[in-house]
Amino acid sequence: MNILGIETSCDDTAVAVVNSDGEILSNVLSSQTEFHAKYGGIVPEIASRKHLELISHVCFESLEKAQIKWSDIDLISVTKGPGLVGSLLVGVEYARGLSVVLKKPIKGINHMEGHLLSPLLTQKVPFPYMGLVISGGHTEFVLVEKSGKYLKVSSTVDDACGESLDKFGKQIGILYPAGPLIEKLAIEGNSKAYQFPLPKVKKDPLAMSFSGLKTSVMHVITSLSSEDLLKEKQNLCASYQYALFRHVLVTAKKVVLKYPVRALTISGGVSANMNLYKTLSDGLSVPVFKPAKKLSTDNAAMIAYAGFLRFKAEGPDSLNFEVFSNLPLASYNTV
Ligand code: KG4
Ligand code: ZN
């Protein structure tokens, strides 16, 4: 069985083909980064227009790379939320069209479910595991008892970790998405050069908060002359990244203490950061798994795979399912 996955929830137009053994036959992505970079973040109107321009090309390329024909597709799996509604609609309408023309079933998938299952595409991760989805839009811990059985146990109450990196980057002159360059600069800096307070969310010890750290680092940035800011860039990146990841680690320790699991997985854009992986691997008592880089950031292979598992359990969706900007993650009954 070949599953065509389509992902357009944010700024990447992605189409992949995955088979029922979980093998990735193609995983094509067209990034819109250059069109958004000068605005310092995603502009929703630009994102949906670009998806419209790109979706068909990316889909044809994905089939070509997978060396399959349209008639070889058995299921169409598409992200239906959470995300930017205009962007989601482009992917979902395209998928609906394919489903009608090819007479093949369709499945609408939660983007978070894709991220949570993405480490399984290339590794054997023991269940139950704690999935940390850490990206530009999300920072949350979800207990994955098995594929299809999810319990959200912790999340940020304000900014996402990647968002916090991007906002900090903007202040020191790093273009969106700032995470990869901050990681590089941090390697050359001293993480103890500046000390930032460990965030605490009073009402919920498992919750995270990144906006206070952002305010603290802004105070430092505005106190420096532009000459000193240039000299201090590496130290600031190292210290800020350290503060963010220490907060994630401290929360992760509490989370795995409360919910005993056999592993922790990290996925989402920030999980591409090797320092985050090392911080969590060194600091936790459970093994940490991260997906391959192409599967850390947004991609359609994870949507195809999640769609296949959900299709097996639930069967197809009707054609008229809706898209949701805030779609809660729903479990399903597995046999
Ligand atoms: O998952 P993703 O591609 O898109 C969503 O937000 O859903 O994640 C993008 C985020 C951005 O905030 C970007 O700065 C961050 O992931 N990111 C990184 C790295 N690569 C991407 N953050 C830290 N280190 C990286 N190497
Ligand atoms: Zn994502």
3-state secondary structure string, 214-230? HHHHHHHHHHCCHHHHH
Same domain, 276 and 137: yes
Looking at the structure, do residues 14 and 103 belong to the same domain, yes or no? yes
CATH number at residue 68: 3.30.420.40
Please check whether residues 148 and 286 belong to one and the same domain: yes
Residues 155 and 214 in one domain: yes
If one residue of 7, 12, 270 were mutated to test the ligand 1 pocket, choosing by the most ligand atoms within 8 A of its CB, it would be: 270
> Considering just the CA atoms, what is the radius of gyration of the chain in Å?
20
From the CA of 297, give the closest atom in ligand 1. Answer: 3
Helix axis angle, 274-283 to 226-258, nearest 10°: 40
CA of 163, closest atom in ligand 1: 12
Q: Find the ligand nearest to 162 CA.
A: 1
Q: Is the same domain home to 193 and 80?
A: no
Closest-lying ligand 1 atom to the alpha carbon of residue 12: 3
Per the structure, the count of domains in the chain is: 2
Residues 11 and 63 reside in one and the same domain: yes
Q: How far is CA 282 from the centre of its chain?
A: 23
Supply the angle between the helices 161-171 and 179-187 in degrees, to the nearest 10: 70
pLDDT tens digit string along 6-30?
999 998 999 999 999 999 999 999 9
* Secondary structure (3-state) at 15: strand
Q: Is the pLDDT of residue 195 over 90?
A: yes
172, 297, 327, best to mutate for ligand 1 pocket (most atoms within 8 Å of CB): 297
Q: Name the strand (E) or helix (H) holding 130.
A: strand 129-134
pLDDT of residue 335: 62
Ligand 1 atom closest to Cα of residue 274: 26
The whole-number pLDDT of residue 24 equals 98
C-alpha count within 13 angstroms, C-beta hemisphere, residue 318: 3
pLDDT of res. 34 = 82
Q: Which residue is closest in CA terms to ligand 1's atom 3?
A: 297
Q: Is residue 330 part of a domain?
A: no
Q: Tell me what pLDDT residue 36 has.
A: 78
**Do residue 88 and residue 158 come from a single domain?**
no
Q: What's the pLDDT tens digit per position in 296-312?
A: 999 999 999 999 999 99
From the CA of 180, how far away is ligand 1's center (Å)?
8
Domain that holds residue 189: 125-290
- Are 160 and 279 in a shared domain? yes
Q: Is residue 325 part of a domain?
A: no
How many beta carbons lie within 10 A of that of residue 334, not counting itself?
A: 14
Percent of the chain with pLDDT over 90: 93
Residue 184 lies in a domain: yes
Question: Do 45 and 26 belong together in one domain?
Answer: yes
Identify the CA nearest to 327 among candidates 88, 99, 41: 88
Q: Give residues (CB < 6 A) around ligand 1.
A: 10, 135-137, 162, 165-166, 177-180, 183, 268-270, 272-273, 297-298
Q: By mean pLDDT, which of 23-37, 157-171, 281-295 is the weakest?
A: 23-37
